[in-house]
A and B are shown apart, each in its own frame.
Chain A
Amino acid sequence: MDETKHTRKKAEANKSKKLMLEIKDLRKSFGDNHVLNGFNLELFEGENIVIMGKSGSGKSVMIKCLVGLMAPDSGTIKIMDRNLLGLDQRALDELRSEIGFLFQGSALYDSMTVKENLEFPLRRHKHKFGDLTDTTPLVQEALDSVGLVHALNLMPSELSGGMKRRVALARTLILKPKIILYDEPTSGLDPITSKEIIELMRSIQNKYNTSSLIITHDVDCARVVSERMILLIDGINYAEGTFDELKTSNDKKVKAFFK
């Protein structure tokens, strides 16, 4: 098939690039609810992959396995040549400082100000920046890259949904991660704000040269951001390819996403 040829070509081109993240045969069930049934994924340096799937198809479960928030039943997860599932707590925390995670609902600490929210990840990872005494420049820089410097001393309850998402994004950026995992970065936002967030994601990608895994329902977001797309259906990577390849696919289940 044409599609697979193209992907293979792309895979060969990727061979020269560094493999940042590799998932093999990931499985996870909750009782009789088999959510992931052998999911595979490879993410190369500087690449953007969009993962689409129906609500409840296990996207959040998959992404939570990647940072050790959930333990898969079986399968392997390799992040920057380290096997995630075999790490002890200390090594896991260290690895986590290389991974940014944007939560589906922003997950800002609502008893803390924006500044304290941003400083929180620095509590345990200051050593990453040498002998750091004043965290303010880092906070400023992160807020600056999402355009919210003026919100420094506000509480999360005083922010709009879009601002919260941007602050959450700044919080994941503050440790300068190499990989960013976005769990529905535009969910619950209006189309204009969604566009802003998408633009932000692209500019961050250019500025920090991160690799990203983006989970989304938003076809517009997928079209703009993705270099490669994966459709998560029935717990496996059902279809894979560029946006245009998948859009012109004849498979019924694939077509349903682009209506």
Chain B
Amino acid sequence: MYCQWHNFKDVLSIMIRTIQIKSFFVEIGELTYFAHRFFKELFSKPFEFKELLRQCYNIGNKSLLLVGVTGFIIGLVITLQTRPTLEEFGAESWMPSMVSISIIREIGPVIIALTFAGRIASGIGAELGSMRVTEQIDAMEVSGTNPFKYLVVTRVLAATLMLPILVILGDTIALYGSYLIENTKGDVSFQLYFNKVFNVLAFGDIIPATIKTFFFGFAIGLVGCFKGYYCKKGTVGVGLAANSAVVSSSMLLFVIDFIAVFVTDIFFEI
């Protein structure tokens, strides 16, 4: 008898703790439904092509400088940090290959996607959130334009398309930053450095890394829109939407990254 009661109490306390976990799963469910709706509306007419281009320009333009600076610093820092270790083993000539592989495969996409999330997910969350709170989304609906198509589909698509381009740009700048250090510290010429880089990089490095950035961009756009579109009333809601958009999309990035590396491992045998 005592044992049963004890069990019951245990179960109860676990249940109370899972309420939070439950709301987590509810949110995952809602996000999945949101994604489902995205794909449904993506392929149905009318297409908001002009708005899509505008969003691509906006999103790309907003994050260009940030991505450039981040990429450059990644290149500098990684090279500076790795160099002493390789020097110890007398393997400085491996620097370009090592740095380029780690930047292209992992560090470039993930860090640039994270800065992108900080800039774009919060921006979208706050923008759509305030549009929801001030009834602008309702006004769109009433005037015959499907707000999901006009606001959400365009933004998610723009984020999906722009992030890969930004990552390629950021990676390139990072490699250039790394070259600058190698050039000053190791007297490596531009041609030699990039010869080594391109010798070591294979399709198995570039293709999966690029494909996963599409998913990163999609996740960031989707979470930003999701948080903003279902924003709670009041200005507190807008802040919360912006904030949780960044947190949730960053978390999602790591999950996607893990899955991507896992899948790549199977298909490309790193």
Q: Give CA–CA (A171, B143) in the complex, Å.
A: 9
Assess the B143–A108 pair: CB atoms within 8 A: no
Q: Tell me how far the C-beta of B140 lies from the nearest C-beta in chain A, rounded to whole angstroms.
A: 7
Q: How large is the interface on B (under 10, 10 to 19, 20 to 34, 35 or more residues)?
A: 10 to 19
Q: Give CA–CA (A123, B144) in the complex, Å.
A: 8
Contact with A along B28-41 (1 / 0, CB 8 A): 00000000000000
Which of A32-40, A98-106, A147-155, A205-213 touches B? A98-106
Assess the A101–B145 pair: CB atoms within 8 A: no
User: Residues of A contacting B134 with CB < 8 Å?
Assistant: 105, 107, 110
User: Residues of A contacting B206 with CB < 8 Å?
Assistant: none
Q: Give CA–CA (A29, B134) in the complex, Å.
A: 23
Assess the B138–A125 pair: CB atoms within 8 A: no
Q: Give CA–CA (A123, B143) in the complex, Å.
A: 9
Assess the A121–B135 pair: CB atoms within 8 A: no
Assess the B144–A93 pair: CB atoms within 8 A: yes
User: Residues of A contacting B130 with CB < 8 Å?
Assistant: 110
Q: Report the nearest A residue to B150, measured CB to CB.
A: A123
Assess the B142–A109 pair: CB atoms within 8 A: no
Q: Report the nearest B residue to A183, measured CB to CB.
A: B135
User: Residues of B contacting A129 with CB < 8 Å?
Assistant: none
Count residues on chain A whose CB falls below 8 Å from chain B CBs.
23
Q: Is the interface of B mostly helix, strand, loop or mixed?
A: helix
Q: Give CA–CA (A211, B142) in the complex, Å.
A: 18
* A233 interfacial contact with B, CB 8 Å: no
Q: Tell me how far the C-beta of B206 lies from the nearest C-beta in chain A, rounded to whole angstroms.
A: 37
Ordered nearest first, which 4 A-B pairs have the shortest CB separation?
A124-B144, A121-B143, A107-B135, A107-B139
List 12 contacting pairs A-B, 8 Å CB cutoff, sorted by A. Answer: A67-B142, A96-B143, A105-B135, A107-B134, A107-B139, A108-B136, A109-B131, A109-B139, A120-B145, A121-B144, A123-B143, A175-B143
Apart from A93-B144, A107-B136, A121-B144, list 19 A-B contacts with CB within 8 A.
A69-B138, A69-B142, A101-B139, A103-B135, A103-B138, A103-B139, A108-B136, A109-B136, A109-B140, A110-B136, A111-B127, A120-B140, A120-B143, A120-B145, A123-B144, A123-B145, A125-B143, A125-B144, A171-B143
